[in-house]
Structure 1
Amino acid sequence: MSLDIFPISLAEANAFVAQHHRHHEPVVGHKFSISVVDVFSIDSIAAQASQVCGVAIIGRPVARGNDDGLTLEVNRCCTDGTRNACSMLYGAAWRAVKAMGYRRLITYTLPTEGGASLRAAGWKLLGERGGSNWNTPARPRIDTDAALRGQKLLWEAV
């Protein structure tokens, strides 16, 4: 198996997320998305989509305080379990963001997720953030999964 990074449309990345992500749904928008593909399995460019092993969707930070114009966020990183695919996506996302002139790339994980792929890609753990739900009287939100409430771990590409 030989893995390589390819661009992917938001619709294709969201379809992969809908099929494979453990606890998140597809996203509404993005700046760009990338995929990791088993290149030895590709007979043609048209067959590329069926050989996708993982995707990363990069967009503006969800938290307003991080949306400074120089920061982007990995809003979704999802693989089918292929070894090293996740760390490849995080590394490629940081290289792309840096090449575009951004200065910072962040992502969040649940405390139950170890972060080995992030550390392998050179990311640093900044610590715990959040902890409450986003429901307010002015902006009602419905939490669909109680497991997603609570503290998250903030990571930064360096």
Structure 2
Amino acid sequence: MSLRIVPVDLASAREFVALHHRHNDPPIGHKFSIGVADGHELVGVAIVGRPVSRVIQSEGATLEVIRTATDGTRNANSMLYGACRRAAFALGYDRLITYTQADESGASLRAAGFRVVAQRPPRPGWDTPSRRRTNKADNVSRTLWDTLTSVEVRDASTADSDDE
């Protein structure tokens, strides 16, 4: 098995998410999408867009990993999160966030350099009179994660080396 990051267009990423994501439909739009392949076979995708939270949107240069989906290939999700992180910072964004549901461990996120920022309580749903939506993953606690920027990573590694 030789995993590698590959480009993937939104239509292909959405199709993969529709087939493999456990609890959400594919998002409508994105800033970019990334795939991971084993040989010539696509085994996972990540879709990155602007944050769903309007509060976080207002903070500025932040992106959100809106969906990841894999066929279960070992290490594919960690590889996707790492590639999303590198791409977001290469594009000049300061922060990359994502959410996990209460029953998800976050091991792939930790492996890719993400950290827990907050625990979010269950919300009753996304359906509102002004924007009708089918409720699917409602009433589930979530964990908010983010990544360190390249400057923070450099500062942290310098601080660590100063201690030795």
Q: TM-score range by the shorter chain?
A: 0.7 to 0.9
Q: Does the residue aligned with 1:95 lie in a helix, a strand or coil?
A: helix
The CA deviation string for residues 73-119 of structure 1, in whole angstroms up to 9 with x for no partner, is 00001110001000000011000000000000000010100111001
Query: What is the Cα deviation at residue 140 of structure 1?
Result: 3.9
Distance 1:3 1:116 in 2: 18
Q: Which consecutive residues of structure 2, in runs of 5 or more, have no partner in the other structure?
A: 149-164
Partner residue in 2 for 1:128? 119
1:1-158 pair list within 5 angstroms? 1-38=1-38, 41-42=39-40, 51-67=41-57, 68-132=59-123, 133-143=125-135, 145=136, 147-158=137-148
Query: What is the Cα deviation at residue 130 of structure 1?
Result: 4.5
**How many percent identity over aligned positions?**
55
Distance 2:82 2:131 in 1: 35
Q: Does the residue aligned with 2:128 lie in a helix, a strand or coil?
A: coil
Alpha carbons 2:122, 2:138 under 8 Å: kept? no
Distance 1:30 1:14 in 2: 10
Query: What is the Cα deviation at residue 137 of structure 1?
Result: 3.9
Question: Which deviates further from its counterpart, 148-157 or 52-61?
Answer: 148-157
TM-score, normalising length: structure 1: 0.87
Q: How many residues are treated as equivalent by the alignment?
A: 146
4+ aligned runs moved over 6 Å, structure 1:
none
Query: What is the Cα deviation at residue 139 of structure 1?
Result: 3.7
Distance 2:121 2:50 in 1: 18
Partner residue in 2 for 1:48? none
Superposition RMSD in Å: 1.4
Q: For residue 26 of structure 1, what is the amino acid of its counterpart?
A: P
Q: For residue 10 of structure 1, what is the amino acid of its counterpart?
A: L
Q: Does the residue aligned with 1:108 lie in a helix, a strand or coil?
A: strand
Distance 1:101 1:74 in 2: 16
Partner residue in 1 for 2:161? none
Alpha carbons 1:110, 1:148 under 8 Å: kept? no
Q: For residue 5 of structure 2, what is the amino acid of its counterpart?
A: I
Partner residue in 2 for 1:47? none
Alpha carbons 1:130, 1:150 under 8 Å: kept? yes
Q: 1:106 to 1:66 in 2, by over 3 A?
A: same
Distance 1:98 1:16 in 2: 25
